[in-house]
Structure 1
């Protein structure tokens, strides 16, 4: 049987949706967030690629997933108050569920990033640009759905590494430490991972 990571890209997208559909919490988050009408939103981060890892390795689909990251992009109001209003609305939306949803306006990241991480962040011009900045290319996958159930998948580096359990670095300023620490933690949880070394 051919590995999903060796299928043509359109068939990989079908395989991605099939794998993610096994995570009921992920599907519930997608369905509810779609109703918020957030500009340029995606469900991204560990909830996406770790669900695939779990399915590929025969684990429970939501095993080890601690939260569900929602990125959106709204540069009309860069105040904390505007973002906090969205965060509070999402909290109310999921208050009946045992799930942690982290929601952030990527248009504001440059305003607080340096204070938190000790170095500046170039302002993003889209949610996609924020996903592009992940420390591993393997992690750069975002999905969203609309009211009709149609999916949009953003995967600038493709999906082969996700299905093949290969963690590949995405060189850029300030990313190496995150890559090293996260890859070590993930490899403890998913020992089947192949972790590629950070380039010199």
Structure 2
């Protein structure tokens, strides 16, 4: 097992890209999504941090990764029809690849969240704000390629926990059960994980 959790932050970003580059499907998703011109988009969620977990524990880079989450933010038209158009475009874009790509406009999450989860969600003002709301701080990482071959990395809590396989809670309304459920499932797949308890 290798660990990059004690490197300076700029070197952790380089190590992150190195780890993620081991996942060929992830690179294909990034390349194709970049061409859609989605405003403020990031690849985020399990495809990012779980790829790192796989690489640092010597597993195949894409082991256990079920889908690729693309968040974007477009408050000019928060209608379902506009979001669905992006979803259908992506479905065509990836129809030849054995991957599931989920695209969501984070500007409209508050419109459907209460009906699905039973409690309201304050409107997000950016894609970054949506990433901030993950139940674990470890999961709050987003990436996208930018000009000159550079990657933009959004990681408000840093990357040390990702590389060190530490799952840390991110307290907030409605997150506790999600943290408990997901951490139990992930620990079965990655028993090396250290799962920190939800605070009382």
Query: Shorter-normalised TM-score: what interval?
Result: over 0.9
Shift of 1:188: 0.3
Q: Secondary structure at the match of 1:4?
A: coil
Partners of 1:78 and 1:5 in 2: CA distance: 38
Shift of 1:147: 5.6
Partners of 1:79 and 1:132 in 2: CA distance: 23
Q: 2:3·2:56 contact (CA, 8 Å) conserved in 1?
A: no
- What pairs up with 1:159-170 in 2 under 5 angstroms? 159-170=159-170
Shift of 1:78: 1.0
Q: 1:135·1:171 contact (CA, 8 Å) conserved in 2?
A: yes
Q: Which residue does the alignment assign to 1:176?
A: 176
Partners of 1:159 and 1:3 in 2: CA distance: 11
Q: Secondary structure at the match of 2:5?
A: helix
Partners of 2:16 and 2:157 in 1: CA distance: 14
Are 2:133 and 1:133 equivalent residues in the alignment?
Answer: yes
Q: 2:2·2:57 contact (CA, 8 Å) conserved in 1?
A: no
Q: 1:34·1:147 contact (CA, 8 Å) conserved in 2?
A: no
Query: Could you report, residue by residue, the CA deviation over 1:22-50 in whole angstroms, capped at 9, with x for unpaired residues?
Result: 00000000000000010000000000000
Equivalenced residues, count: 200
Structure 2 residue runs of 5 or longer lacking an equivalent are: none
Q: Which residue does the alignment assign to 1:46?
A: 46
Q: Which residue does the alignment assign to 1:74?
A: 74
Q: Secondary structure at the match of 2:50?
A: helix
Q: Which residue does the alignment assign to 2:186?
A: 186
- Over 3 Å counting, the alpha-carbon distance change for 1:50 and 1:2 in structure 2 is closer
Query: Could you report, residue by residue, the CA deviation over 1:82-133 in whole angstroms, capped at 9, with x for unpaired residues?
Result: 0000000011100111100000000000000000000000000000000000
- What pairs up with 1:136-147 in 2 under 5 angstroms? 136-146=136-146
Q: TM-score with structure 1 length normalisation?
A: 0.98
Q: Which residue does the alignment assign to 2:32?
A: 32
- What pairs up with 1:34-113 in 2 under 5 angstroms? 34-113=34-113
Partners of 1:100 and 1:174 in 2: CA distance: 26
Shift of 1:148: 3.9
* Runs of at least 4 residues off by over 3 Å: none
Shift of 1:3: 3.1
Q: 2:168·2:195 contact (CA, 8 Å) conserved in 1?
A: yes
Query: Could you report, residue by residue, the CA deviation over 1:129-160 in whole angstroms, capped at 9, with x for unpaired residues?
Result: 00000000000000001364321000000000
Q: 2:2·2:56 contact (CA, 8 Å) conserved in 1?
A: no
Structure 1 residue runs of 5 or longer lacking an equivalent are: none
